[in-house]
Chain A
Amino acid sequence: MTPMSNPRSSFKMTAQRDDALASAGTSRAAVGKVSATDVSVFYGDKQALFDVSLDMPDRMVTALIGPSGCGKSTFLRCINRMNDTIPGARVDGKIILDGEDINDRKVDPVLLRARVGMVFQKPNPFPKSIFENVAYGPRIHGFADNKTELADIVESSLKRAGLWKEVADRLQAPGTSLSGGQQQRLVIARAIAVSPEVILMDEPCSALDPIATAKIEELIDDLRSQYCIVIVTHSMAQAARVSQRTAFFHMGAVVEAGATDEIFTNPRDTRTQDYITGRFG
């Protein structure tokens, strides 16, 4: 049985993964956990992405930067096949997750999304209690056999998201009663409760104040040791702070990709240079 077809097995695999890859650091030879080859996306007749190829290594944060409308969010939504939910959207090309093409007809997008979690731009807690928000994924995927196990998963997820201390005494309060930054961490807790292998973040801090942003960035840095994280951001400072690898998108194509240090100190393409020095975008 492939890990793809059973989320439970992938749940266990996640726990057993060794940390070998983490030591790869910023080396350019990093192995892609997710690897995209010639990905093009069409919305109806309009092409939004042009032959994007990109490796996103495990235990690292890959930042996607670029001006508005450059296709970085579109690319992100290819990785968990969220583009499927948009009528008229078509994705060409290959995206390999752990050696398997996620666009293969045998792959069920619903199960894929349990392995590839996503955090959105605006915090979107469900209209349920804090506990139920985090328990949502484990419940629908049957990760907990009884209430104690479920409570354990909720607690450990909230702890990993750095929210446990703030909400431990009011787990039954509605998720929407939290502040924006807390909501965003709640949503991250909800995403990691199903033990995904990849976490996609679509401008997770753009609706937050600087202090909440700092907390989320800290959290991203913590989570890096266990997940492959891909983050779309408008803030180059944020990309520089949290990511190990950076890809610069422009007009629906990847202009330059590589180790974050290199991109920011020694960009090879003039467009990248212009963008990171603030000349456009």
Chain B
Amino acid sequence: MLIWIALLGLILFSVTAYAAGRRKVLSAAGGRARLMHSLPGYHGAYLALWTAAPAIILLLLVSLFGAQIEEIVLRADPPAAVSTLPDSTQDVFYNDVVATVTGGQVSQTIYDGALGSAFAEKLVQARDIHRSLTTGALIAAFILALAGAAMAWPRLSADFAARPRVERWIAVLFLACSVVAVLTTLGIVASLVWESWRFFQAVPVFEFLFGLTWDPQIAIRADQVASSGAFGAVPLFMGTFLIMMIAMTVAAPVGLFAAIYLSEYAGPTVRAVVKPLLEILAGIPTVVYGFFAALTVGPLFRGAFNSLGAQFIGGPLDGLGLYLMQVQNQMALVAGAVMGIMLIPFVSSLSDDIINAVPQSLRDGSLAMGATRSETITRVIMPAALPGVMGALLLAVSRAVGETMIVTMAAGLQARATFNPLDTVTTVTVQIVTLLTGDQEFDSPKTLSAFGLGLTLFLITLMLNIVALRIVQRYREQYD
């Protein structure tokens, strides 16, 4: 808390420094900015940066790693009552001590007896450490701020090159932001790989990738009936593939043809109306598509198939009729069709960009040869745009593979190895959601299997994206 107040103080301090630095060089140059190397604002910014930046970095580091430092110091001399405990309980103990001091989440463990006095003792020590760490950080920040200002202040003069130096600071800021993005991604991938590795110690990779049964039940007691779960992911990937194929069957032609209409045929007025409408479609949250699928499209399809089945009853196709009569609301077809609708704006707006990137000179060339519009499109524009369009479709595929909400609501939860679009199926993403919702322990193969699925899915979409981007890139180079 104190640290955040200090942060605010630092910012105010640096604003003052900005104004002061500005005034100093202005008066040094007799108020004429023309005589200076850099504009007065750069001098002010230079001073402000040196005042605030090092101190802020220090405070950020302390607030990020303060708790860890405290814990390390606390663990340095463990009380006898604690050191005899198992490792995981020790972790909880120290975690609770630090959390009580810093106001974090405390476990519900009750410490009494020898453990209670150890807790009280460590609590006192932790308060001490926390206080000295905070005060130390504040004092250090204050000194850093003063030192920075003192270092930068004498440099400010009319011919001091503040502009390129501020430029360098800005470059560092941008670099830091991009590093954060990259590090976060790496962190996610690392945790995915790490947890999957733990999962694959419990379940062999081969069984996971090629097993035909998905039944992630793990016994709570060792003597329970059917105590071993089955972790064959094939039904999940088949379900994912089936729904993706249905979705692309809807999205690819409709999206592509809509894009062709928009870029080649539509006049400016139509374009001005239709394009925003398509983009609104892209802005609908997937959960809305999900309940649209579950509550509207599902019953609609079911009704259609049921009444179609009724026609066959008693005829030569009696069996098929009976089957169609039993079709449920939830099926791959519903989820796939609605997902396809969701992807239409995605496909069409990407394809529209790509088709528009085909040079006008090719269109003119073809039209001037006496080709009609549609001949021009099929013979000249589409061949030129095809690689890019393929890339766009692959991007849509990787979105379809990663989509969760619609499938959760409209496709059912049963893991079945089937390619029948009227069956209920489940997908990789849906299983991850089911595995991780509710109270779970995080060391059973059941929950860890989510990481295995996540990693496999990540690798698949990563490959798709790389291929897609490559294709799009190569296409771009052709005309630049």
User: Which stretch in B185-193, B323-331, B377-385, B446-454 binds the other chain?
Assistant: B377-385
Is there an interface contact between A120 and B364, defined as CB atoms closer than 8 Å? yes
Is there an interface contact between A114 and B369, defined as CB atoms closer than 8 Å? yes
Is there an interface contact between B268 and A128, defined as CB atoms closer than 8 Å? no
Give 7 nearest A-B pairs by CB, closest first: A114-B370, A118-B368, A124-B361, A113-B370, A124-B365, A127-B384, A137-B369
State whether the Cβ of A57 lies closer than 8 Å to any Cβ in chain B: no
Q: A87-B267, A124-B359 are in contact. Are A140 and B370 (CB under 8 A)?
A: yes
CB distance from B310 to the nearest CB of A (A): 51
Per the CB 8 Å criterion, the residue count for chain A at the interface is: 29
- Across the interface, B370 reaches (CB within 8 A) one of A7, A85, A176, namely A7
Q: Which residues in window 372-397 of B have CB below 8 A to A?
A: 372, 375, 379-380, 383-384
Sampled A-B contacts (27; CB under 8 Å): A7-B370, A82-B367, A85-B364, A85-B367, A87-B268, A113-B368, A113-B369, A113-B370, A117-B369, A118-B368, A120-B364, A120-B368, A122-B361, A126-B380, A126-B383, A126-B384, A127-B362, A127-B380, A127-B384, A127-B478, A136-B369, A137-B370, A140-B369, A140-B370, A140-B375, A140-B379, A141-B370
Give chain A residues whose Cβ lies under 8 Å from the Cβ of B125: none
Q: A127-B384, A136-B379 are in contact. Are A110 and B365 (CB under 8 A)?
A: no
Q: Which residues in window 81-121 of A have CB below 8 A to B?
A: 82, 85, 87, 110-115, 117-118, 120
User: Which stretch in A186-194, A213-221, A230-238, A253-261 binds the other chain?
Assistant: A186-194
Q: How far is the CA of A7 from the CA of B380 in the complex (A)?
A: 21
Give chain B residues whose Cβ lies under 8 Å from the Cβ of A176: 478
Q: Which A-chain residue is minimally distant from B367 (CB atoms)?
A: A85
- Across the interface, B372 reaches (CB within 8 A) one of A110, A118, A136, A194, namely A110
Q: Which B-chain residue is minimally distant from A126 (CB atoms)?
A: B380
CB distance from B387 to the nearest CB of A (A): 10
Tell me how many residue pairs across A and B have CB atoms closer than 8 Å: 70
Task: Beyond the given A82-B367, A140-B369, A194-B370, please list 14 additional residue pairs across the A-B interface where CB-CB is below 8 A.
Answer: A110-B370, A110-B371, A110-B372, A114-B369, A118-B364, A120-B361, A120-B364, A126-B365, A126-B384, A137-B369, A137-B370, A141-B370, A187-B365, A190-B369
Give chain A residues whose Cβ lies under 8 Å from the Cβ of B365: 120, 124-126, 187, 190
State whether the Cβ of B100 lies closer than 8 Å to any Cβ in chain A: no
CB distance from B372 to the nearest CB of A (A): 5
CB distance from A233 to the nearest CB of B (A): 18
Give chain B residues whose Cβ lies under 8 Å from the Cβ of A7: 370
Q: How far is the CA of A185 from the CA of B372 in the complex (A)?
A: 24
CB distance from A28 to the nearest CB of B (A): 31
Q: Which B-chain residue is minimally distant from A84 (CB atoms)?
A: B367
Q: How far is the CA of A60 from the CA of B277 in the complex (A)?
A: 53
State whether the Cβ of A243 lies closer than 8 Å to any Cβ in chain B: no
State whether the Cβ of B95 lies closer than 8 Å to any Cβ in chain A: no
Q: Which A-chain residue is minimally distant from B370 (CB atoms)?
A: A114
CB distance from B269 to the nearest CB of A (A): 10
